[in-house]
Amino acid sequence: MQLGIALPLIDIHGEPSTVRDFAQAAEELGYHHLGAPDHVLGANVANRPDWGNRNTSKDFFHEPFVLFGFLSACTRNIGFSTQVLILAQRQTALVAKQVASLDVLSGGRFRFGIGVGWNPVEFVGLNENFHNRGKRSEEQVEVMNALWRDQHVIFKGKWHTIDDAGINPRPKRGKIPIWFGGHADVTLRRTAKWGDGWIMLAHARGKEAETEFDKLRRYVKEEGRDPRDVGIEVWVSTAEGGPDDWRKEFAYWKSVGVTHVTVNSTYARGPHKRIPGKSMADHLKAMKDYHAAVKDLV
């Protein structure tokens, strides 16, 4: 069971000393990984009165590869995970190069969480097609895996052409762990076919989540793979109950086969709640309190 914590950038923002101190505190406590969200552009809601409770230009997001490149030099062992990076709004070969470089510079500590995104404003601003993003992301995964694995790649697909070329550096493992975030059935299918894991956010503990886990494992078997090779990650928050509740929830997730738990105390959609406080001190306390409650269960 791996225990991680999300960088609460939307609250604490991203001064060098702030993100360094947060990352080092997490590593010193014994957290296994840091998670970071991804948005390139935020919408101006002054001109969009019906925008709803979604990320806007007021919300702070560091570019994940730059952030983790910096933090890899500030830490020794803690891992890094995008949760999740919106792949289809980026150039595939460039992302493959960025991921490989980060993996090399961090000593193999990167886990690549990807999703298809929900915000057409970003896709328009980045000159990518919002409407074919799902299918296009599938081909992107194939291209990236080839570039990470092979010195030279010849690829001709619907959206990508590589004419006997490659990236350098490549990850020493010849691959990067890819985790899919999202909750449509097609996301589970993609995870089963290509993924090393699924990042699940939509369901609270209980029958609904277990049904989805069983479905994923069935899809993995249909792809001729071992379900034990595909991880499952969930998010938790210290806003939900106290130490005894956190222990019970952690033990439950462990009992149903969850492999990664990430503390995210700023996320407040679906079954999740955020903590009332927004200061660095508030988030450091949440980090310490949760670890103290569950450390013997990890």
DSSP letters, 14-52, are --HHHHHHHHHHHHHHT--EEEE---S--B-GGG-TT--
Scanning the structure block, which residue is given the tokens 């730059």? Answer: 66
pLDDT of residue 269: 86
**Cα(78)–Cα(57) distance, rounded to whole angstroms?**
30
b/e burial code for range 70-91 (CB count within 10 A of at least 16 → b): bbbeebeebbbbbbbbbbbbbe
Task: Taking residues 86-109, report their average pLDDT.
Answer: 98
Q: Give the pLDDT confidence of 3-26 residue by residue, as tens digits.
A: 999 999 999 999 999 999 999 999
Q: Is there a contact between 181 and 84 (Cβ–Cβ < 8 Å)?
A: yes
**Cα(130)–Cα(121) distance, rounded to whole angstroms?**
9
Q: What's the length of the chain?
A: 298
- The 3-state DSSP class for residue 151 equals coil
Query: Could you tell me the sign of the dihedral formed by the alpha carbons of 91, 82, 179, 145, in that order?
Result: positive
pLDDT of residue 53: 81
Q: Is the peptide bond before 169 cis (omega within 30 degrees of 0)?
A: yes
pLDDT of residue 208: 96
C-alpha of 57 from chain center: 21
pLDDT of residue 165: 98
Q: Is there a contact between 52 and 82 (Cβ–Cβ < 8 Å)?
A: no
pLDDT of residue 32: 98
Q: Where are the domains of the chain?
A: 2-297
Q: Give the pLDDT confidence of 149-177 residue by residue, as tens digits.
A: 999 999 999 999 999 999 999 999 999 99
pLDDT of residue 270: 87
**Cα(122)–Cα(294) distance, rounded to whole angstroms?**
38
pLDDT of residue 167: 98
Tokens representing residue 126 in the block: 């980045």
Helices (H) and strands (E) in the chain, counts: 10, 11
pLDDT of residue 39: 96
Tokens representing residue 141 in the block: 């995964």
CA-only gyration radius of the chain, Å: 19
pLDDT of residue 125: 97
Q: Is there a contact between 103 and 150 (Cβ–Cβ < 8 Å)?
A: no
Phi, then psi, of 32 in degrees rounded to 5: -90, -30
Task: Taking residues 71-80, report their average pLDDT.
Answer: 98
pLDDT of residue 115: 97
Query: To which CATH superfamily is domain 2-297 assigned?
Result: Luciferase-like domain (3.20.20.30)
pLDDT at 210 > cutoff 90 = yes
Return all residues near 276 (Cβ < 8 A) that are at least 6 apart.
Answer: 239, 282
pLDDT of residue 214: 98
Q: Give the pLDDT confidence of 98-129 residue by residue, as tens digits.
A: 999 999 999 999 999 999 999 999 999 999 99
**Cα(60)–Cα(9) distance, rounded to whole angstroms?**
6
Task: Taking residues 226-246, report their average pLDDT.
Answer: 96
Going by pLDDT thresholds of 50, 70 and 90, the confidence category of residue 52 is: confident
pLDDT of residue 31: 98
Task: Taking residues 235-264, report their average pLDDT.
Answer: 97
Report the DSSP pairing between strands 161-165 and 153-156.
antiparallel
**What is the share, in percent, of the chain residues with pLDDT greater than 90?**
96
Q: Is there a contact between 133 and 115 (Cβ–Cβ < 8 Å)?
A: no
The pTM score is: 0.96
